[in-house]
Amino acid sequence: MSDQVLVFEMAPRDGLQNEERIIPTEDKIALVDALSRSGLGKIETASFVSPKWVPQMADGAEVMTGITRRAGVAYTALTPNMKGLERALAAGADEVAVFGAASETFSQRNINCSIAESFQRFRPVVDRAVAEGAPVRGYVSCVTDCPYEGAVVPEAVAEVAKALLDMGCYEVSLGDTIGKGVPETVSAMLGAVLSRVPAEQVAGHFHDTGGRARDNIIAALALGIRTFDTSAGGIGGCPYAPGAQGNVATEAVVGLLAAEGFETGIDPDALGEAARFARSLKAG
Ligand code: HMG
Ligand code: MG
């Protein structure tokens, strides 16, 4: 099994999307640039969702075109529908992502459609992105627990994950959206998913509301998962998941992975600087 782990940075998107104060575009750009100096290979830079739904992300195009691009870094974006994809491609996103859920109520609250309708909506988005040369990631939210429905059955997650990969996504990122997962529920969920899809196409996306994200990463590593989504400074949360905290902090995960003998290629000092800047934005 590989000892390389890909750390996928979320702070500019998942980190900032829930912030009530409107953060100046130049600060968002400075955050992405600081993160790119640390050796991170993938940075979720913007979100091309409806500005009525998430006003904080309305300046995605300005952020995406304002950053200083570093060779070898993929700058990625959320694209919930064709309009979002067109905006993301025009702004130069290297990679895009569709996002669904394993819970019907969360799907309705977050993207205003059922799970089945979301597949109909995503399919042409994935086809078009792939035709334009942009790889597509698929997110599944509420992989252990839903803020509206409670515990989520592992098989529901496996169904959605398989459907997203069959559609043409290169990877599925499994989101513990509200950070309620524990190693037992995460392992049970991964057991169901990994019986349908290979570990190389699965990423872990753990929010740290319950303080168990690091334990969940260790459980996922043991099952062969080698990509994790994290947020510098631990900033963030989802506007449609009440009470949810940020993704587990990038700097904590990089430290944990080094201690466990995994390579990430990330410079902890440069990352520390970016994390301090991320936290300062959150504090206002
Ligand atoms: P809707 O209201 O059903 O969409 O929302 P619509 O097609 O009827 O459009 C409504 C209006 O929005 C129209 O404008 C559209 O043009 C506009 P109007 O005609 O009224 O002036 N619009 C757009 N504008 C710009 N870009 C677009 C776009 N789409 C429509 N892409 C929609 C459906 C999906 C758009 C909406 O529900 C939405 O934007 N939802 C996104 C919510 C969101 O961003 N949530 C947070 C990200 S997901 C997350 O954090 C979880 C994750 O981290 C994993 C985890 O932790 O679990 C990924
Ligand atoms: Mg998230």
Nearest ligand by distance to the CA of 176: 1
| CA separation for the pair 245, 236 (Å, rounded) | 6
Nearest ligand by distance to the CA of 81: 1
State the pLDDT at residue 180: 97
Domain ranges of the chain: 6-283
With a 6 Å cutoff on the Cβ, whether 95 touches ligand 1 is no
Half-sphere exposure for 171 (CA within 13 Å, toward CB): 22
State the pLDDT at residue 242: 84
* Catalytic residue check, 142: no
Q: Residue written as tokens 């080698």?
A: 226
State the pLDDT at residue 182: 98
* Run means of pLDDT, 10 residues per run, the chain, 284 residues: 91 94 96 98 98 97 98 98 98 98 98 98 98 98 98 98 98 98 98 98 97 97 98 90 90 97 97 97 77
> Which stretch of DSSP H or E encloses residue 99?
strand 95-101
User: What homologous superfamily does CATH list for 6-283?
Assistant: Aldolase class I (3.20.20.70)
DSSP H helical segments within 223-262, as ranges?
250-259
With a 6 Å cutoff on the Cβ, whether 152 touches ligand 1 is no
State the pLDDT at residue 1: 61
With a 6 Å cutoff on the Cβ, whether 28 touches ligand 1 is no
Half-sphere exposure for 267 (CA within 13 Å, toward CB): 10
Q: Residue written as tokens 């979100």?
A: 47
